[in-house]
Amino acid sequence: MTISVGERLPDGTLTEFIDTETAGCQLGPNAFQVADLVKGKKIALFAVPGAFTPTCSNNHLPGYIAAAADLAAKGVDEIWCVAVNDAFVMGAWGREHQAAGKVRMMADGSALWTRALGLELDLVARGMGVRSQRYSALIEDGVVKQLNIEAPGKFEVSDAATMLSQA
């Protein structure tokens, strides 16, 4: 069953590659509980089938990086990019696109959280395993306020411009 507007996000663990050590966050992959991260925050979340893939790298991620200041002006506390990749890959992809300070690159390496959302995409036949559908969501204090799920092979409703109009 796919999560719907008005529902609370399921808890789960997402991993983020930390490039700069801070109190409580060491260098390298750090695991975070979704329930803790969303508490009291407005989050623009977008998910992609895979890091370094054409539409994701050429359009999806760059669009949110470019819109980061505009989303912040609309009260968005954080932007998350979620993919079924490991934290090392997500960290490298974020560095390549200079996402630091704009978009948090969140890894769901085994698709456990993506499956809990009901938004997995089976690409086993194409040699890519289980991935995430392409979507975006506006989350407020852990509750889904907007949900934009793309049709297969499309990039029309999960882009940064749509999220800006909904934030």
56 is catalytic: yes
Q: Could you say which of 37, 38, 43, 56 is catalytic?
A: 56
Q: What is the DSSP string of the chain?
A: ----TTPBPPP-EEEEEESS-BTTB-SEEEEEEHHHHHTT-EEEEEEES-TT-HHIIIIIHHHHHHTHHHHHHTT--EEEEEESS-HHHHHHHHHHTT-TTT-EEEE-TTSHHHHHHT-EEEEGGGT-EEEEPPEEEEEETTEEEEEEEPPTT--SSSSHHHHHHH-
Could you give the residue numbers annotated as active site? Answer: 56
